[in-house]
Structure 1
Amino acid sequence: MPELPEVETTRRGLEPLIVERKILSVHIYKKQLRWEIPFHLIKTIKNQIIKKISRRGKYLLVDFEVGQLVMHLGMSGSISVVPSSEPLKKHHHFELKFDNSFSMRFHDPRRFGSILWQKNNEQLKLLNNLGPEPLSYEFDDYSLYNLSIGKTKNIKSFIMDSNIVVGVGNIYASESLFLAGISPKRVSGKTSRDRYKKLTQCIKKILSDAINNGGTTLNDFSNVDGEPGYFSQILSVYGRNDMPCNRCDGKIKKIIQNQRATYYCPQCQH
């Protein structure tokens, strides 16, 4: 599943290609994704100019004068910008044709992604109550500790909660906890302030490194040019079950937490 670095990589790739471009036409080829694509988009954003593209957690927000397109890549989604004359591929569900003979196309084999709309001065419910961005100043050394007080869930599930902090998905939660030397099984409410301070710094580092390296090559993810990310080449624990730990003489172990795979080193994560 594309996580925050993959979405940010997509945003950065799209920005110079679509901002200030005029929409000549909108095409909905398969309306039913996770939710139905609003049919009114065909008229609403026709002849509109894209003002900006930003990110909130794992959502891409495309700004127009009349509102925002809200896109989520789901489990297998990707977005590409290609010549409009290029033939459509299977699982291309949505297309914006621009005034420069190029198109932005949304591709999603599993159809768990979403393309929604919000008017100016309105916000979709799914964007309500989101926690701070992990690379922002708002996510500081004490954010996690203060929110953990009294919590009983394991620390990995805690940092993956989008109400606590957005965008720390399964891969990067495992990697951040490894870098911080914290067991994913540790109870979130019984973790010290100092350990949360270190974990905060590790989350910022892991996500920043992943963004700089173009995201993670797993399953279907590719960036806006169709090229795979390559952060997976330097993953320390994720997907390395029974392989040697690169920090001690232990072995990486895989467990299931909240129906998700967790990878960690029992010897050096406590």
Structure 2
Amino acid sequence: MPELPEVEVVRRQLKDKLVGRTIKNIVSYHDKIFNEDLTLVKETLINQEILDIERYGKYLVFIFKENVLISHLRMEGKYFFREVGTKKDKHEHVFFELDNNISLRYHDTRKFGRMDLRKKNNYLDVLPLNKLGSEPKYMQNSELYNLITNRNISIKTALLNQEIIAGLGNIYVDETLFLSKIHPMRKTNEISMEEADLITKSATKVLDKALALGGTTIRSYTSAEGVTGLFQNELLVHTKEGEPCPNCNNIITKLKVGGRGTYVCDQCQK
């Protein structure tokens, strides 16, 4: 699943090629990707210029004069550029045909991705973006602590909750908790303010490094056409089951936390 660094890489690539381009046609082969009626989407966006592309957490936002299109890639969503008329791949579900004879194609093996049409003047105040928590680098001291201290859930589950903290997924939560020396099954009401602030700082460090390296490529996910992330070469615990901990040489183990595969050093993380 793409997390904040992977989505930011996609945003930068799309912005380079799309800003200033006008949508001339929209072709859908799986209308359920849009949470609004396709006819409305077409009436709103065809002949509109793409002014910018923003990102909030794991959401991409295509900015137009009066509206925005919010795209969540979910598990496997990707965007590809093809010349108009190029043969359709079976996993390409939406074509945005542009004024330069290029088709921006939304590719999604599992069809889990979704797109929302919103008004530009209030899209941050309505679903889905109004429920997002802050990204780690924007969090103030004690902010995370105040959000989790009255809950009784595992810290990993809390960090995966995008309403608490935005942008982290399974990979980067494992790495963040390893740097913070906190066991992923610790309950949130046991986390001190100092530990919560350390988690925020560790998450920022992990995400910044991953972004600098173009994100992480795990199994079938790559951030966009022709781009493969390198952060998988820097992972300290995630996917390292059976290998020695880089800090203490204890063997890294894998367990389930909230149904998610989780990698931990039981010696370092308490």
Q: When the two structures are superposed, what TM-score results if normalisation uses the length of structure 1?
A: 0.93
Residues 143, 253 of structure 1: CA spacing in aligned structure 2 closer, same or farther, 3 A cutoff? same
Gaps of 5+ in 1: none
Shift in Å, 1:112: 0.5
Summarize deviations over 1:79-135 as a string: whole Å, max 9, x none: 122333432211111111111222211000100001221123344422222111223
Counterpart amino acid of 1:109? Answer: T
Hey, what does 1:65 align to over in structure 2? Answer: 65
Summarize deviations over 1:157-188 as a string: whole Å, max 9, x none: 11221111111111100000001111111111
Structure 1 counterpart SS, 2:141: coil
Q: Percent identity?
A: 36
Matches within 5 A, 1:35-54: 35=35, 38-54=38-54
Summarize deviations over 1:7-36 as a string: whole Å, max 9, x none: 111001111100111112111122123856
Counterpart amino acid of 2:128? Answer: L
Q: Tell me if structure 2 keeps the 8 A contact 1:183–1:264.
A: yes
Q: Tell me if structure 1 keeps the 8 A contact 2:149–2:189.
A: yes
Q: Distance in 2 between matches of 1:71 and 1:176?
A: 26
Structure 1 counterpart SS, 2:261: strand
Counterpart amino acid of 2:93? Answer: H
Q: Distance in 2 between matches of 1:107 and 1:83?
A: 15
Structure 2 counterpart SS, 1:115: strand
Counterpart amino acid of 1:96? Answer: F
**Structure with greater helix share of residues:** 2
Q: Tell me if structure 2 keeps the 8 A contact 1:236–1:246.
A: yes
Hey, what does 2:133 align to over in structure 1? Answer: 131
Q: Distance in 2 between matches of 1:214 and 1:86?
A: 28
Q: Distance in 1 between matches of 2:205 and 2:27?
A: 39
Q: Distance in 2 between matches of 1:135 and 1:89?
A: 38
Matches within 5 A, 1:1-270: 1-33=1-33, 35=35, 38-123=38-123, 124-136=126-138, 139-270=139-270
Structure 2 counterpart SS, 1:32: helix
Which deviates the most, 65-74 or 141-150?
Answer: 141-150
Structure 2 counterpart SS, 1:128: helix
Gaps of 5+ in 2: none
Counterpart amino acid of 2:137? Answer: L
Shift in Å, 1:234: 1.3
Measured on the aligned residues, the alpha-carbon RMSD in Å equals 1.7
Structure 2 counterpart SS, 1:132: coil
Residues 36, 64 of structure 1: CA spacing in aligned structure 2 closer, same or farther, 3 A cutoff? closer
Residues 229, 86 of structure 1: CA spacing in aligned structure 2 closer, same or farther, 3 A cutoff? farther
Shift in Å, 1:51: 0.8
Q: Distance in 1 between matches of 2:6 and 2:114?
A: 16
Q: Distance in 2 between matches of 1:263 and 1:149?
A: 24
Which deviates the most, 213-222 or 122-131?
Answer: 122-131
Q: Tell me if structure 2 keeps the 8 A contact 1:80–1:226.
A: no
Residues 83, 134 of structure 1: CA spacing in aligned structure 2 closer, same or farther, 3 A cutoff? farther
Q: Aligned pair count?
A: 268
Structure 2 counterpart SS, 1:210: helix
Q: Distance in 2 between matches of 1:206 and 1:195?
A: 16
Q: Distance in 1 between matches of 2:226 and 2:232?
A: 17
Q: Tell me if structure 1 keeps the 8 A contact 2:134–2:166.
A: yes
Q: Distance in 2 between matches of 1:95 and 1:73?
A: 15
Shift in Å, 1:219: 2.7
Q: Tell me if structure 1 keeps the 8 A contact 2:216–2:230.
A: yes
Q: Tell me if structure 2 keeps the 8 A contact 1:180–1:202.
A: yes
Counterpart amino acid of 2:44? Answer: T
Shift in Å, 1:222: 2.1
